[in-house]
Structure 1
Protein backbone atom coordinates (compact mmCIF):
# COMPACT_ATOMS: atom_id res chain seq x y z
CA UNK A 1 0.00 0.00 0.00
CA UNK A 2 1.40 3.40 -1.01
CA UNK A 3 2.14 6.17 1.46
CA UNK A 4 -0.67 8.46 0.21
CA UNK A 5 -3.33 5.77 0.61
CA UNK A 6 -2.18 5.03 4.15
CA UNK A 7 -2.33 8.72 4.98
CA UNK A 8 -5.92 8.82 3.62
CA UNK A 9 -6.90 5.87 5.79
CA UNK A 10 -5.21 7.34 8.89
CA UNK A 11 -5.37 11.13 8.43
CA UNK A 12 -3.82 12.07 11.77
CA UNK A 13 -0.82 14.37 11.66
CA UNK A 14 2.61 12.76 11.24
CA UNK A 15 4.33 10.39 8.84
CA UNK A 16 3.50 6.68 8.87
CA UNK A 17 6.43 4.62 10.13
CA UNK A 18 6.91 0.86 9.95
CA UNK A 19 8.77 -1.82 11.85
CA UNK A 20 9.01 -5.38 10.52
CA UNK A 21 8.69 -8.03 13.24
CA UNK A 22 8.22 -11.74 13.71
CA UNK A 23 4.53 -12.49 13.13
CA UNK A 24 4.31 -14.50 16.35
CA UNK A 25 4.97 -11.30 18.34
CA UNK A 26 2.32 -9.24 16.55
CA UNK A 27 -0.69 -10.30 18.67
CA UNK A 28 0.74 -8.75 21.86
CA UNK A 29 1.47 -5.31 20.43
CA UNK A 30 -2.05 -3.75 20.67
CA UNK A 31 -2.01 -4.53 24.40
CA UNK A 32 1.69 -3.99 25.02
CA UNK A 33 4.27 -2.07 23.00
CA UNK A 34 7.00 -2.42 20.40
CA UNK A 35 9.88 -3.41 22.62
CA UNK A 36 13.55 -2.68 22.18
CA UNK A 37 15.61 -5.25 20.29
CA UNK A 38 16.56 -8.44 22.09
CA UNK A 39 20.25 -7.56 21.92
CA UNK A 40 19.86 -3.80 21.42
CA UNK A 41 18.60 -0.70 23.19
CA UNK A 42 16.91 0.59 20.02
CA UNK A 43 13.76 0.07 17.96
CA UNK A 44 14.75 -0.04 14.30
CA UNK A 45 12.14 1.24 11.81
CA UNK A 46 11.57 2.87 8.43
CA UNK A 47 9.39 5.62 7.06
CA UNK A 48 6.65 4.41 4.67
CA UNK A 49 7.43 5.73 1.20
CA UNK A 50 6.25 5.14 -2.35
CA UNK A 51 9.13 2.65 -2.80
CA UNK A 52 7.77 -0.55 -1.26
CA UNK A 53 11.18 -2.26 -1.30
CA UNK A 54 12.79 0.61 0.63
CA UNK A 55 9.97 0.80 3.17
CA UNK A 56 10.13 -2.91 4.01
CA UNK A 57 13.82 -3.46 3.41
CA UNK A 58 14.48 -5.05 6.80
CA UNK A 59 12.38 -8.15 6.01
CA UNK A 60 15.15 -10.20 4.45
CA UNK A 61 17.51 -9.24 7.26
CA UNK A 62 15.05 -10.89 9.67
CA UNK A 63 15.05 -13.98 7.46
CA UNK A 64 18.76 -14.33 8.13
CA UNK A 65 17.88 -14.46 11.84
CA UNK A 66 15.56 -17.42 11.27
CA UNK A 67 12.22 -15.56 11.15
CA UNK A 68 9.77 -17.34 8.80
CA UNK A 69 6.57 -15.27 9.01
CA UNK A 70 6.47 -11.49 9.15
CA UNK A 71 4.22 -8.67 10.26
CA UNK A 72 4.43 -4.94 9.55
CA UNK A 73 3.61 -2.59 12.43
CA UNK A 74 2.63 0.89 11.29
CA UNK A 75 2.91 3.68 13.86
CA UNK A 76 3.43 7.40 14.32
CA UNK A 77 5.81 9.43 16.46
CA UNK A 78 5.72 13.12 17.47
CA UNK A 79 7.55 15.38 15.01
CA UNK A 80 10.00 16.45 17.72
CA UNK A 81 10.85 12.87 18.75
CA UNK A 82 14.64 12.47 18.75
CA UNK A 83 15.93 9.53 16.72
CA UNK A 84 19.18 8.26 15.28
CA UNK A 85 19.20 8.22 11.48
CA UNK A 86 21.64 7.51 8.68
CA UNK A 87 22.85 5.02 6.10
CA UNK A 88 23.71 1.48 7.11
CA UNK A 89 27.35 1.11 8.28
CA UNK A 90 27.87 4.90 8.12
CA UNK A 91 27.69 7.56 10.82
CA UNK A 92 24.19 8.19 12.23
CA UNK A 93 23.00 11.57 13.46
CA UNK A 94 20.79 12.32 16.48
CA UNK A 95 18.02 14.66 15.35
CA UNK A 96 14.22 15.19 15.42
CA UNK A 97 12.36 12.66 13.32
CA UNK A 98 10.82 15.39 11.15
CA UNK A 99 14.31 16.50 10.09
CA UNK A 100 15.46 12.90 9.61
CA UNK A 101 12.50 12.16 7.33
CA UNK A 102 13.22 15.32 5.33
CA UNK A 103 16.80 14.14 4.83
CA UNK A 104 15.58 10.66 3.87
CA UNK A 105 13.14 11.98 1.24
CA UNK A 106 15.88 13.99 -0.48
CA UNK A 107 18.15 10.99 -1.04
CA UNK A 108 18.65 9.76 -4.60
CA UNK A 109 19.32 6.28 -3.26
CA UNK A 110 17.45 5.74 0.02
CA UNK A 111 18.20 2.01 0.19
CA UNK A 112 20.06 1.31 3.42
CA UNK A 113 18.80 4.41 5.25
CA UNK A 114 17.55 3.50 8.72
CA UNK A 115 16.00 5.05 11.81
CA UNK A 116 16.55 4.06 15.45
CA UNK A 117 14.41 5.00 18.43
CA UNK A 118 15.83 4.83 21.97
CA UNK A 119 12.55 3.90 23.63
CA UNK A 120 9.57 1.59 23.25
CA UNK A 121 6.68 2.44 20.95
CA UNK A 122 3.46 2.63 23.00
CA UNK A 123 0.19 0.95 21.88
CA UNK A 124 -1.38 4.42 21.46
CA UNK A 125 1.20 5.25 18.79
CA UNK A 126 0.45 2.10 16.75
CA UNK A 127 -1.75 2.74 13.69
CA UNK A 128 -2.26 -0.82 12.49
CA UNK A 129 -0.61 -4.23 12.13
CA UNK A 130 -0.76 -6.43 9.07
CA UNK A 131 0.85 -9.64 7.95
CA UNK A 132 3.54 -9.47 5.31
CA UNK A 133 3.50 -12.35 2.85
CA UNK A 134 7.20 -12.56 2.06
CA UNK A 135 10.47 -10.87 3.00
CA UNK A 136 11.63 -7.89 0.98
CA UNK A 137 14.85 -5.93 0.99
CA UNK A 138 18.57 -6.51 1.18
CA UNK A 139 20.65 -9.18 2.85
CA UNK A 140 24.01 -8.62 4.57
CA UNK A 141 24.22 -4.97 3.37
CA UNK A 142 22.27 -2.61 1.05
CA UNK A 143 24.77 -3.13 -1.80
CA UNK A 144 25.19 -6.86 -1.33
CA UNK A 145 23.16 -7.96 -4.37
CA UNK A 146 25.14 -10.34 -6.58
CA UNK A 147 28.02 -10.33 -4.11
CA UNK A 148 29.09 -13.14 -1.81
CA UNK A 149 29.22 -12.21 1.89
CA UNK A 150 32.43 -12.75 3.80
CA UNK A 151 32.41 -15.62 6.29
CA UNK A 152 35.83 -15.09 7.84
CA UNK A 153 35.94 -15.28 11.68
CA UNK A 154 35.58 -11.49 11.92
CA UNK A 155 32.59 -11.09 9.57
CA UNK A 156 30.65 -14.34 9.85
CA UNK A 157 27.66 -14.44 12.19
CA UNK A 158 26.74 -17.46 14.29
CA UNK A 159 23.18 -18.78 14.08
CA UNK A 160 22.24 -17.52 10.64
CA UNK A 161 20.72 -20.03 8.18
CA UNK A 162 23.47 -21.96 6.32
CA UNK A 163 26.19 -19.97 8.12
CA UNK A 164 27.94 -23.09 9.48
CA UNK A 165 28.21 -24.57 5.98
CA UNK A 166 29.41 -21.25 4.56
CA UNK A 167 32.08 -20.92 7.27
CA UNK A 168 33.37 -24.43 6.55
CA UNK A 169 33.60 -23.59 2.85
CA UNK A 170 35.48 -20.38 3.68
CA UNK A 171 37.89 -22.24 5.96
CA UNK A 172 38.51 -24.91 3.32
CA UNK A 173 39.63 -22.22 0.87
CA UNK A 174 41.39 -19.75 3.16
CA UNK A 175 42.63 -21.64 6.22
CA UNK A 176 45.77 -23.80 6.01
CA UNK A 177 44.97 -27.49 6.02
CA UNK A 178 45.99 -29.34 9.20
CA UNK A 179 49.16 -31.38 9.04
CA UNK A 180 48.63 -35.14 8.86
CA UNK A 181 49.70 -37.16 11.92
CA UNK A 182 52.15 -39.35 9.93
CA UNK A 183 53.89 -36.23 8.60
CA UNK A 184 53.89 -34.64 12.07
CA UNK A 185 55.53 -37.76 13.55
CA UNK A 186 58.15 -37.71 10.80
CA UNK A 187 59.07 -34.09 11.60
CA UNK A 188 59.12 -34.79 15.35
CA UNK A 189 61.50 -37.70 14.82
CA UNK A 190 64.00 -35.88 12.60
CA UNK A 191 63.77 -32.07 12.76
CA UNK A 192 65.63 -29.67 15.06
CA UNK A 193 63.75 -26.59 13.82
CA UNK A 194 61.61 -25.45 16.77
CA UNK A 195 59.13 -23.66 14.50
CA UNK A 196 58.60 -26.79 12.40
CA UNK A 197 58.34 -28.87 15.56
CA UNK A 198 55.74 -26.48 16.99
CA UNK A 199 53.64 -26.87 13.85
CA UNK A 200 54.02 -30.64 14.05
CA UNK A 201 53.01 -30.92 17.71
CA UNK A 202 50.03 -28.65 17.08
CA UNK A 203 48.68 -31.20 14.59
CA UNK A 204 47.78 -33.47 17.52
CA UNK A 205 45.45 -30.89 19.06
CA UNK A 206 43.58 -31.97 22.20
CA UNK A 207 42.18 -35.23 20.80
CA UNK A 208 42.59 -38.18 23.17
CA UNK A 209 44.83 -40.99 21.96
CA UNK A 210 45.71 -44.45 23.26
CA UNK A 211 49.24 -44.70 21.85
CA UNK A 212 52.54 -44.46 23.72
CA UNK A 213 53.66 -40.78 23.85
CA UNK A 214 57.36 -41.63 24.33
CA UNK A 215 58.16 -40.47 20.78
CA UNK A 216 57.57 -36.90 22.02
CA UNK A 217 60.35 -36.97 24.62
CA UNK A 218 63.01 -35.52 22.33
CA UNK A 219 61.00 -32.30 22.05
CA UNK A 220 61.38 -31.72 25.79
CA UNK A 221 65.14 -31.47 25.28
CA UNK A 222 64.95 -28.58 22.79
CA UNK A 223 65.17 -25.85 25.46
CA UNK A 224 62.19 -24.01 23.99
CA UNK A 225 59.62 -22.98 26.63
CA UNK A 226 56.61 -22.86 24.31
CA UNK A 227 57.49 -26.17 22.69
CA UNK A 228 58.03 -27.73 26.13
CA UNK A 229 54.63 -26.57 27.39
CA UNK A 230 52.77 -27.67 24.24
CA UNK A 231 54.49 -31.06 24.21
CA UNK A 232 53.50 -31.76 27.80
CA UNK A 233 49.90 -30.84 26.96
CA UNK A 234 49.90 -33.34 24.08
CA UNK A 235 51.51 -36.03 26.23
CA UNK A 236 48.65 -35.52 28.67
CA UNK A 237 46.09 -36.39 25.96
CA UNK A 238 47.51 -39.93 25.62
CA UNK A 239 45.60 -42.55 27.60
CA UNK A 240 48.58 -44.90 27.93
CA UNK A 241 50.31 -46.35 31.02
CA UNK A 242 53.53 -44.62 29.96
CA UNK A 243 51.85 -41.20 30.18
CA UNK A 244 51.69 -41.18 33.96
CA UNK A 245 55.31 -42.25 34.28
CA UNK A 246 56.49 -39.51 31.91
CA UNK A 247 54.56 -36.78 33.69
CA UNK A 248 55.44 -37.83 37.24
CA UNK A 249 59.15 -38.20 36.44
CA UNK A 250 59.47 -34.96 34.49
CA UNK A 251 61.43 -32.29 36.37
CA UNK A 252 61.22 -28.55 35.85
CA UNK A 253 62.04 -25.45 37.89
CA UNK A 254 59.33 -23.47 36.12
CA UNK A 255 56.18 -22.97 38.21
CA UNK A 256 53.94 -22.93 35.12
CA UNK A 257 55.26 -26.31 34.01
CA UNK A 258 54.83 -27.78 37.49
CA UNK A 259 51.24 -26.49 37.61
CA UNK A 260 50.53 -27.93 34.15
CA UNK A 261 51.80 -31.37 35.16
CA UNK A 262 49.65 -31.34 38.30
CA UNK A 263 46.63 -30.37 36.22
CA UNK A 264 47.24 -33.10 33.64
CA UNK A 265 47.66 -35.76 36.32
CA UNK A 266 44.50 -34.59 38.09
CA UNK A 267 42.46 -34.79 34.86
CA UNK A 268 43.47 -38.44 34.56
CA UNK A 269 42.63 -39.11 38.18
CA UNK A 270 46.30 -39.60 39.10
CA UNK A 271 47.67 -38.00 42.22
CA UNK A 272 51.05 -36.38 41.69
CA UNK A 273 53.87 -37.53 43.95
Structure 2
Protein backbone atom coordinates (compact mmCIF):
# COMPACT_ATOMS: atom_id res chain seq x y z
CA UNK A 1 0.00 0.00 0.00
CA UNK A 2 1.30 3.44 -0.96
CA UNK A 3 1.11 6.23 1.64
CA UNK A 4 0.32 9.82 0.67
CA UNK A 5 -0.39 13.08 2.50
CA UNK A 6 -3.30 15.35 1.61
CA UNK A 7 -3.35 18.83 3.19
CA UNK A 8 -6.70 20.36 4.03
CA UNK A 9 -8.31 22.81 6.44
CA UNK A 10 -8.64 21.68 10.04
CA UNK A 11 -12.35 22.47 9.78
CA UNK A 12 -12.70 19.61 7.28
CA UNK A 13 -11.19 17.00 9.61
CA UNK A 14 -14.52 15.69 11.05
CA UNK A 15 -15.99 15.28 7.56
CA UNK A 16 -12.84 13.55 6.29
CA UNK A 17 -12.98 11.06 9.19
CA UNK A 18 -16.63 10.39 8.49
CA UNK A 19 -16.77 10.18 4.68
CA UNK A 20 -13.26 10.61 3.25
CA UNK A 21 -11.83 13.31 0.99
CA UNK A 22 -14.09 14.75 -1.68
CA UNK A 23 -12.99 15.02 -5.31
CA UNK A 24 -13.22 18.81 -5.25
CA UNK A 25 -10.01 19.67 -7.12
CA UNK A 26 -9.51 19.97 -10.86
CA UNK A 27 -6.53 18.21 -12.36
CA UNK A 28 -4.96 17.80 -15.77
CA UNK A 29 -7.58 17.58 -18.51
CA UNK A 30 -10.34 18.88 -16.21
CA UNK A 31 -10.58 15.67 -14.20
CA UNK A 32 -11.92 15.86 -10.67
CA UNK A 33 -9.97 14.30 -7.85
CA UNK A 34 -7.65 14.82 -4.88
CA UNK A 35 -4.13 16.28 -4.76
CA UNK A 36 -1.61 14.64 -2.46
CA UNK A 37 2.11 13.94 -2.07
CA UNK A 38 4.04 10.77 -1.13
CA UNK A 39 5.29 10.32 2.42
CA UNK A 40 9.07 10.66 2.08
CA UNK A 41 11.82 10.27 4.71
CA UNK A 42 12.14 14.08 4.75
CA UNK A 43 9.39 15.70 6.83
CA UNK A 44 9.93 19.06 5.10
CA UNK A 45 9.61 17.63 1.59
CA UNK A 46 6.55 15.58 2.55
CA UNK A 47 4.74 18.73 3.74
CA UNK A 48 6.33 21.13 1.25
CA UNK A 49 2.98 22.38 -0.10
CA UNK A 50 1.67 23.59 3.25
CA UNK A 51 2.70 27.25 3.17
CA UNK A 52 1.75 27.69 -0.47
CA UNK A 53 -1.70 26.14 0.06
CA UNK A 54 -2.21 28.33 3.13
CA UNK A 55 -1.95 31.40 0.89
CA UNK A 56 -5.01 30.40 -1.14
CA UNK A 57 -6.99 28.18 1.21
CA UNK A 58 -9.48 29.05 3.95
CA UNK A 59 -8.49 30.91 7.07
CA UNK A 60 -7.21 28.76 9.90
CA UNK A 61 -4.66 26.00 10.26
CA UNK A 62 -4.16 23.06 7.92
CA UNK A 63 -3.96 19.40 8.88
CA UNK A 64 -2.27 16.44 7.22
CA UNK A 65 -4.51 13.58 6.09
CA UNK A 66 -2.49 10.38 5.63
CA UNK A 67 -4.04 8.25 2.89
CA UNK A 68 -3.27 4.62 2.02
CA UNK A 69 -3.88 3.74 -1.63
CA UNK A 70 -3.58 0.45 -3.42
CA UNK A 71 -0.23 0.12 -5.20
CA UNK A 72 -2.02 -0.35 -8.54
CA UNK A 73 -4.22 2.74 -8.17
CA UNK A 74 -3.80 4.93 -11.32
CA UNK A 75 -2.64 8.47 -10.51
CA UNK A 76 -1.19 11.45 -12.35
CA UNK A 77 2.29 12.53 -11.26
CA UNK A 78 4.47 15.42 -12.34
CA UNK A 79 5.67 18.92 -11.57
CA UNK A 80 2.96 21.54 -11.10
CA UNK A 81 4.21 23.36 -14.21
CA UNK A 82 3.56 20.22 -16.28
CA UNK A 83 -0.15 20.40 -15.49
CA UNK A 84 -0.72 23.37 -17.80
CA UNK A 85 1.07 21.54 -20.64
CA UNK A 86 -0.83 18.27 -20.05
CA UNK A 87 2.57 16.68 -19.47
CA UNK A 88 1.90 14.89 -16.19
CA UNK A 89 2.22 11.12 -16.55
CA UNK A 90 -0.30 8.47 -15.58
CA UNK A 91 1.38 5.98 -13.25
CA UNK A 92 0.47 3.52 -10.55
CA UNK A 93 0.53 4.84 -7.00
CA UNK A 94 3.55 2.68 -6.13
CA UNK A 95 5.47 3.87 -9.20
CA UNK A 96 4.66 7.52 -8.39
CA UNK A 97 6.11 7.09 -4.89
CA UNK A 98 9.23 5.40 -6.28
CA UNK A 99 9.79 7.99 -9.00
CA UNK A 100 9.28 11.05 -6.80
CA UNK A 101 11.37 9.56 -4.00
CA UNK A 102 14.27 9.04 -6.41
CA UNK A 103 14.32 12.66 -7.59
CA UNK A 104 17.24 14.82 -6.43
CA UNK A 105 14.82 17.72 -5.87
CA UNK A 106 11.11 16.75 -5.64
CA UNK A 107 9.95 20.24 -4.69
CA UNK A 108 6.99 21.34 -6.78
CA UNK A 109 5.94 17.80 -7.67
CA UNK A 110 2.41 16.59 -7.02
CA UNK A 111 0.26 13.48 -7.30
CA UNK A 112 -3.36 13.65 -8.44
CA UNK A 113 -5.79 10.86 -7.58
CA UNK A 114 -8.62 11.06 -10.18
CA UNK A 115 -11.38 10.13 -7.74
CA UNK A 116 -12.53 10.75 -4.20
CA UNK A 117 -10.70 9.09 -1.30
CA UNK A 118 -12.86 6.72 0.73
CA UNK A 119 -12.98 6.99 4.52
CA UNK A 120 -11.52 3.49 4.78
CA UNK A 121 -8.43 4.71 2.93
CA UNK A 122 -7.77 7.49 5.48
CA UNK A 123 -5.02 6.21 7.76
CA UNK A 124 -4.88 9.12 10.21
CA UNK A 125 -5.28 12.88 10.54
CA UNK A 126 -2.76 14.92 12.48
CA UNK A 127 -1.80 18.51 13.13
CA UNK A 128 1.32 19.87 11.46
CA UNK A 129 3.45 23.00 12.00
CA UNK A 130 2.15 25.81 9.82
CA UNK A 131 5.59 27.00 8.69
CA UNK A 132 6.76 24.01 6.63
CA UNK A 133 7.38 24.29 2.90
CA UNK A 134 7.95 27.01 0.33
CA UNK A 135 5.83 29.93 -0.83
CA UNK A 136 5.27 31.29 -4.35
CA UNK A 137 7.64 28.71 -5.91
CA UNK A 138 10.63 26.55 -4.89
CA UNK A 139 13.77 28.61 -4.30
CA UNK A 140 11.71 31.79 -4.02
CA UNK A 141 13.35 32.65 -0.70
CA UNK A 142 15.90 35.41 -1.25
CA UNK A 143 14.30 36.74 -4.43
CA UNK A 144 11.91 39.68 -4.54
CA UNK A 145 8.28 38.56 -4.92
CA UNK A 146 6.36 39.74 -7.97
CA UNK A 147 3.86 42.49 -7.10
CA UNK A 148 1.76 42.40 -10.28
CA UNK A 149 -2.01 42.00 -9.98
CA UNK A 150 -1.81 38.40 -11.20
CA UNK A 151 0.64 37.21 -8.54
CA UNK A 152 -0.48 39.17 -5.50
CA UNK A 153 -3.48 38.18 -3.38
CA UNK A 154 -5.48 41.08 -1.99
CA UNK A 155 -5.73 40.89 1.78
CA UNK A 156 -2.69 38.66 2.16
CA UNK A 157 -0.57 39.28 5.24
CA UNK A 158 2.06 41.92 4.47
CA UNK A 159 0.76 42.42 0.94
CA UNK A 160 0.13 46.16 1.17
CA UNK A 161 3.58 46.82 2.64
CA UNK A 162 5.16 44.71 -0.09
CA UNK A 163 3.35 46.62 -2.85
CA UNK A 164 4.38 49.94 -1.33
CA UNK A 165 8.05 48.92 -1.10
CA UNK A 166 8.27 47.26 -4.53
CA UNK A 167 5.60 48.80 -6.71
CA UNK A 168 4.98 47.01 -10.01
CA UNK A 169 5.57 49.31 -13.03
CA UNK A 170 2.26 48.30 -14.62
CA UNK A 171 -0.03 47.26 -11.75
CA UNK A 172 1.42 49.48 -9.03
CA UNK A 173 -0.23 52.71 -7.84
CA UNK A 174 -0.09 55.45 -10.49
CA UNK A 175 1.96 58.63 -9.92
CA UNK A 176 0.23 61.63 -8.32
CA UNK A 177 -2.07 63.68 -10.55
CA UNK A 178 0.24 66.74 -10.64
CA UNK A 179 3.04 64.56 -11.96
CA UNK A 180 0.80 63.15 -14.69
CA UNK A 181 -0.47 66.60 -15.67
CA UNK A 182 3.13 67.80 -15.92
CA UNK A 183 3.81 64.94 -18.31
CA UNK A 184 0.87 66.04 -20.46
CA UNK A 185 2.23 69.56 -20.62
CA UNK A 186 5.71 68.31 -21.41
CA UNK A 187 4.33 66.26 -24.31
CA UNK A 188 3.71 69.48 -26.21
CA UNK A 189 0.81 70.73 -28.29
CA UNK A 190 -0.98 68.77 -29.64
CA UNK A 191 1.34 66.32 -27.88
CA UNK A 192 3.11 63.04 -28.52
CA UNK A 193 0.37 60.38 -28.97
CA UNK A 194 2.34 57.56 -27.33
CA UNK A 195 3.12 59.59 -24.21
CA UNK A 196 -0.43 60.92 -23.92
CA UNK A 197 -1.89 57.44 -24.14
CA UNK A 198 0.39 56.24 -21.35
CA UNK A 199 -0.62 59.14 -19.12
CA UNK A 200 -4.32 58.66 -19.84
CA UNK A 201 -4.02 54.97 -18.99
CA UNK A 202 -2.56 55.90 -15.60
CA UNK A 203 -5.23 58.54 -15.01
CA UNK A 204 -7.93 56.01 -15.87
CA UNK A 205 -7.00 53.90 -12.83
CA UNK A 206 -8.32 56.63 -10.52
CA UNK A 207 -11.88 57.13 -9.36
CA UNK A 208 -11.65 60.87 -9.91
CA UNK A 209 -9.61 62.95 -12.29
CA UNK A 210 -8.95 66.48 -13.62
CA UNK A 211 -11.65 66.77 -16.27
CA UNK A 212 -10.82 70.38 -17.19
CA UNK A 213 -7.11 69.63 -17.59
CA UNK A 214 -7.64 66.82 -20.11
CA UNK A 215 -10.64 68.25 -21.95
CA UNK A 216 -8.40 69.72 -24.68
CA UNK A 217 -7.33 66.20 -25.67
CA UNK A 218 -10.82 65.63 -27.07
CA UNK A 219 -9.63 67.65 -30.09
CA UNK A 220 -6.33 65.80 -30.50
CA UNK A 221 -5.68 64.86 -34.15
CA UNK A 222 -4.78 61.24 -33.28
CA UNK A 223 -7.95 59.12 -32.86
CA UNK A 224 -6.08 56.66 -30.60
CA UNK A 225 -5.59 59.47 -28.06
CA UNK A 226 -9.26 60.41 -28.21
CA UNK A 227 -10.28 56.78 -27.75
CA UNK A 228 -7.94 56.41 -24.76
CA UNK A 229 -9.45 59.60 -23.35
CA UNK A 230 -12.90 58.03 -23.51
CA UNK A 231 -11.81 54.91 -21.62
CA UNK A 232 -9.92 56.92 -18.99
CA UNK A 233 -12.58 59.51 -18.26
CA UNK A 234 -15.40 56.93 -18.22
CA UNK A 235 -13.94 55.52 -14.96
CA UNK A 236 -14.12 58.86 -13.15
CA UNK A 237 -16.88 59.99 -10.83
CA UNK A 238 -15.86 63.62 -11.25
CA UNK A 239 -18.63 66.06 -12.32
CA UNK A 240 -18.36 66.74 -16.02
CA UNK A 241 -16.72 63.41 -16.90
CA UNK A 242 -19.82 61.95 -18.50
CA UNK A 243 -20.44 65.14 -20.49
CA UNK A 244 -16.86 65.04 -21.82
CA UNK A 245 -17.36 61.46 -23.01
CA UNK A 246 -20.73 62.29 -24.53
CA UNK A 247 -19.18 65.13 -26.52
CA UNK A 248 -17.20 62.54 -28.49
CA UNK A 249 -20.29 60.58 -29.54
CA UNK A 250 -20.14 62.19 -33.00
CA UNK A 251 -16.39 61.77 -33.43
CA UNK A 252 -15.39 61.21 -37.08
CA UNK A 253 -13.44 58.03 -36.24
CA UNK A 254 -15.50 54.82 -35.73
CA UNK A 255 -13.24 53.46 -32.96
CA UNK A 256 -13.90 56.55 -30.84
CA UNK A 257 -17.63 56.34 -31.45
CA UNK A 258 -17.68 52.64 -30.51
CA UNK A 259 -15.82 53.37 -27.29
CA UNK A 260 -18.35 56.08 -26.38
CA UNK A 261 -21.24 53.71 -27.07
CA UNK A 262 -19.64 51.02 -24.93
CA UNK A 263 -19.11 53.23 -21.88
CA UNK A 264 -22.46 55.02 -22.12
CA UNK A 265 -24.54 51.87 -22.41
CA UNK A 266 -27.01 51.63 -19.51
Settle same-fold status: TM greater than 0.5: yes
Q: CA deviation at 1:208?
A: 3.4
Q: Give CA deviations for 1:150-186 in whole Å, capped at 9, x if unaligned.
A: 3334544556433444344432567696362441452
2:65 equivalent among 67, 73, 77: 73
Task: State the alpha-carbon separation in 2 of the partners of residues 229 and 173 from structure 1.
Answer: 23
Structure-2 change in CA distance of 1:245 and 1:17 (3 Å): closer
**Matched residue, 2:182:** 183
Contact residue 17 and residue 119 of structure 2 kept, 8 A: yes
Task: State the alpha-carbon separation in 1 of the partners of residues 62 and 245 from structure 2.
Answer: 62
Task: State the alpha-carbon separation in 2 of the partners of residues 50 and 56 from structure 1.
Answer: 11
Structure-2 change in CA distance of 1:161 and 1:199 (3 Å): same
Normalization by structure 1: what TM-score?
Answer: 0.72
Contact residue 65 and residue 160 of structure 1 kept, 8 A: no
Q: Give CA deviations for 1:176-214 in whole Å, capped at 9, x if unaligned.
A: 96362441452477454333333444454254357646x
2:140 equivalent among 141, 144, 154: 144
**Matched residue, 1:32:** 19
Q: Which runs of 5+ in 1 are unaligned?
A: 1-13, 268-273
Q: Give CA deviations for 1:223-273 in whole Å, capped at 9, x if unaligned.
A: 211122234556665524x98499559743445544555677788xxxxxx
SS across alignment from 1:89: helix
Q: CA deviation at 1:119?
A: 0.9
- Alpha-carbon RMSD across the aligned residues, in angstroms, is 3.7
Deviates more, 1:105-114 or 1:42-51: 105-114
Task: State the alpha-carbon separation in 2 of the partners of residues 25 and 141 from structure 1.
Answer: 26
Instruction: Say yes or no: does 1:230 pair with 2:228.
Output: yes
Normalization by structure 2: what TM-score?
Answer: 0.73
Q: CA deviation at 1:81?
A: 0.6
Q: CA deviation at 1:26?
A: 0.4
Superposition map of 1:177-216 within 5 A: 178=175, 180-184=179-183, 186-187=185-186, 190-205=189-204, 207-209=207-209, 212=212, 216=215
**Number of aligned pairs?**
251
Task: State the alpha-carbon separation in 1 of the partners of residues 245 and 102 from structure 2.
Answer: 75
